[in-house]
Structure 1
C-alpha cells in the first residue's frame, strides 16, 4: 500500500496513514472524500514573550516562560484516518435490505482506553485545563491559559478551541484600549462550556502534573475491542485491539510547523464522551517549546471507530490471504457503520475470493449504493473479482 494526501477545500491536509483497500497496492477508497469528522483546528500564532510570565504557569505555580520569542508563522493541524471516505448522501441500501448475514456484537460494556488517561507533565507546556461538550452535545470546547496576557473574566482560560463538527476555531483575549479584555467570542465559548458538561484537569503541585478527565460510560463493542492510545511526540495515535490480535491505529493527530527548527510535540490533552454516549472527541495538545500551543480536535462516533478497527484488522488477514478471517471482520465493519463505503467493498472482495458469489453480489450492491459509480469502475479492474467477472449479476451491477 502507498500513502497519499487528500487536500481539503478548507486548506487543511488530511494525510492517509494507511489506505485500506481490498487489493494490495490499491490506494484510495471508493469515492474517497474528506471525512465530516476529520475536522481541523484553526492555526495558532506565537504567544509568549521574553518578559511576560505565562498565565497558566502563574496560576499553577509553575516556572515562568523565559527566552526570546521565535516567530513561527502558523501550525497546520493534520488528522490522518485510515479511511476518510464517507457516503455521498443517505445510502439507498443497508446491510439488512441487501440481505447480508447478521453479526452479534455481544452485550454493551464499559468503554475503556488503554494508555488513557495519564499524567501530563507541565513545565513549559500550556495544556487546555477546562474542557467538555456543550449542553446539547453539538460543540466541544477546550480552554486554557495559553497566552501571556490576562484579563478579568479569563480565570478558566484566555484561549479556547471550539469544534462544532467542522473546522476547529481558536478564540482568545481581544486587545484595544488600555488592556486586553474578554471579548464576545471568548465569553461565549466559556459560557457554553460552563453551562454544558465541563471537566477541570486535576493539578498535582508536588509532581507538577495535570490529569485529564477519565472516560466513563458503555459502548456496544466492549466484547470485541479494547481501545488504545499511543504516542507522545510528533504524532498521537488512536485505535484498538480486536480480540488478542495486533493493535491497529486508524487515527492519528499531529501539527505541522511552518518552521523546520521548531517541530511540534504532542500529548493526549483529553478524550471526552458526548452526552448521548455515542461519540468520542479526541483532543491532542501540541506545542513547540514555550512559544506556541495548539489543540487539535476530531470527533468520531463509536460506530465509526469500531468499523475502523474491524476493517483495518481484517485487511491484515486479507493481505495474508486469510480470507475467512478477513470476511468475518469486514462483515462486522460493515454492520458497525453501514454508511462507510470501504468495508462492504472489501467484504465483496473476500466473498468472491472464497467462492461465495451470492454474498459477494449482496456486498457489492451495498458498496455501490453507499459510494456510487466509482465502485463500479474499480470493481471491474479488481483481480479479487476474477471469479465473478462473467456473472450476469456482476455485469449488471458494474454496468
Structure 2
C-alpha cells in the first residue's frame, strides 16, 4: 500500500508540473496534503474537506480550529493549509457562479454535481431561489453596527475589507460585498437599520433585528422558517435530516456540498441570532418573548406608514412565523408603545382588535429611543420562556 501511495503521489506531482492549468480544486488540495501527511492516501481527505467547506477557497479561509476538527487533519496539515492561504493568489481560487438573475449579483449560486452550464444558458423553469450557504451571522453582529461611523457605503466597504476576520483579501472583499448586498442592497447608509444601530440597542434586540433582516433578504431562510420551523413549534425541534430534506426538495439541482453548507448556515443563523439550540442531530426552539426595542423595529418595518391595523396582521406575520415571539407578549408590547406615544390607540372589543400607529418608520424609531421617560414607562421583559409554551 505504501508503494502504491508513493507512486500515486509522484504521478500527481509530475502531472502538476506538466499540466497545472488543468488541475482541479480536488487535485490541488490532494497535492497540498501529500506534503503534510506522509504514507497515506489523502484523496478521501481532500474529498471530505471540499464537501465540508464547498471549495478550495473556503478550505483556505477556514480557521485553524475548523480544519483540525476534521478527522485526519492534524497540526502539520492545518499549518500548511494556513501558510498557503497566507501566500495564495485569490484570483485563481474564486468560485465562478453558474448564473445570476437581476441587477444584483447573487451572494452564492447553486453549484451542481455535473459540469457547470455554459454562460448564458437558460433554465427552463425560470429563475431559481438563491442559496443560503454562508450566514455570516457572527460577522454581522460584530461589524454591521460599525456602519454608524460612516457616511458613504464605499468607505464602509473598505472598512469591512480591511477588518473582516478572513485570511485573504479576496475573501474579505467577497464577504464585505455579501454583507452589504444582504443588509444594504440600496447602497445607502442612512436607512432605518442604521438609525436602529445608532441608538446602541441591547444585544438581544440586535440579534432579533438581524435575524429579521436576514430572513427578509434571504428567501431560503423565509422558506425554512415558515415551512420547516414554524410547523414544528408544537414539538419544539427539527432534525438535521429534516432540514436537509427540505433544502434538497427546494434546491434539487444543488450539489451535496451546497446542501450541507446550507443546512449548516440555517442552523447557525437560528442559534446565533434567534435563540435556538443545536446539537449534532437536532435544532431545538420554542415560542418566546423578545425585547421591546426589537418589537418596535419589526413593527415599524412591517407597518411603515401611519394608520390603523388589525391584530391578525401582526399575529400572522414575521414576528410569529420567523422570530417565534409569544403572542400575549406581543399584545403587551402594543400597550407599552401606546404609553410611549408611538401608538395612539389599542382596541380589543370582542373580535375587533386593532392598533393605530401614529408615525412613519423612521419617526417611530426616533420617538421611542429619544423619549425622556422610556426607561420608566416601558415594561422591560427578559427573553425567558413565553406563556404559550
TM-score by length of 2: 0.27
Structure 1 or 2: more helix by fraction? 2
Report the structure number with the largest CA radius of gyration: 2
Structure 1 or 2: more strand by fraction? 1
